[in-house]
Amino acid sequence: MARILLIETATEVCSAAIAVDGEVVAIAEELHVQSHAALLTLQIESCVKMCGIPLATLDAVAVSRGPGSYTALRVGASVAKGICYALGKPLIAVDTLLALAWASKNTPLSPGTGIPPTVRTTPSAVFIPMLDARRQEVWTAAYDDSLGVITPAQPIIIKDNLFQNFIYSAVRSAGAEVAVLSGNGCQKTINETFNENVVIGHIKNCSAGYLSGLSEQFFQNADFQDVAYFEPFYMKPPNITTPSRAPF
């Protein structure tokens, strides 16, 4: 039975949780955070008090590795690595998009989603998580019903049918009957026209809780990161701007 601290800071969500044997026993999160650095350690402390499991008794620390916000990902990684160094715990990294796909797979679609009844009764699906990458771009990937990678993580611009083609290609490759979209990038598809077998699922925001099942699997397989050399998956370099002219 593994006790794992879960950290999610890839997006505007700041979230910490503790899972025991893959089940979340404590969670603290805020959906719209200006400073992850100011909040994350307080959330971890809250989770410890909530479930009564001291950090020293944890078996591992899991962190959402990205893609996502450059600054926010660095906060999560720094806190996770600091705890691992201080307590001698292994570090687990979970792809942010994979965690969203896992959450979609484990969240049943309710009636009225627009999916034909025959499709709702079958397990054949592809999961397409989307993260807002600013402007008309998203970071996305495609996973089959076993969460195997169909199309690896990549940036896609939501225009000129590029995203529709991405979805339909993934569906054809997997021989699936439905595509389930998730993540905060879904808001950019409002003006897109999909066929009836493409549905926006219930998972819109990231959460540390979504790392629970995957981090347990990684722990059992001893799939750990080198704490000294681990870096988040940024997808893109930070968007750093410089003044147009030097100050007086």
Top-level class of domain 3-96+206-220: alpha beta
pLDDT at residue 75, rounded to an integer: 97
pLDDT at residue 117, rounded to an integer: 46
146 by DSSP, 3-state: which? coil
Residues 6+ apart with CB under 8 A from 22: 2, 212, 213, 215, 216, 217
Residues 6+ apart with CB under 8 A from 62: 4, 5, 6, 7, 80, 91, 92, 93, 94, 211, 214, 215, 218
C-alpha to C-alpha distance for 140 and 188, rounded to whole angstroms: 12
pLDDT by residue (tens digit) across 66-87? 999 999 999 999 999 999 999 9
Between CA 85 and CA 27, with CA 77 as vertex, the angle to 5 degrees is: 95
pLDDT at residue 134, rounded to an integer: 83
Q: Which of 93, 160, 102 is nearest to 129 (CA)?
A: 102
C-alpha to C-alpha distance for 81 and 229, rounded to whole angstroms: 10
C-alpha to C-alpha distance for 121 and 117, rounded to whole angstroms: 7
Q: Which two tokens stand for residue 129?
A: 């998580």
Q: Which of 196, 232, 193, 229 is nearest to 66 (CA)?
A: 232
C-alpha to C-alpha distance for 98 and 143, rounded to whole angstroms: 8
Amino acid in the structure at residue 104:
S
pLDDT at residue 118, rounded to an integer: 44
| DSSP structural state of residue 110 | P
Amino acid in the structure at residue 133:
A
pLDDT by residue (tens digit) across 127-139? 999 999 988 899 9
pLDDT at residue 121, rounded to an integer: 45
Report whether 66 contacts 232 (CB < 8 A). yes
Low-confidence ranges of the chain (pLDDT < 50): 112-113, 116-121, 241, 248
Cis before 90 (ω within 30) = no
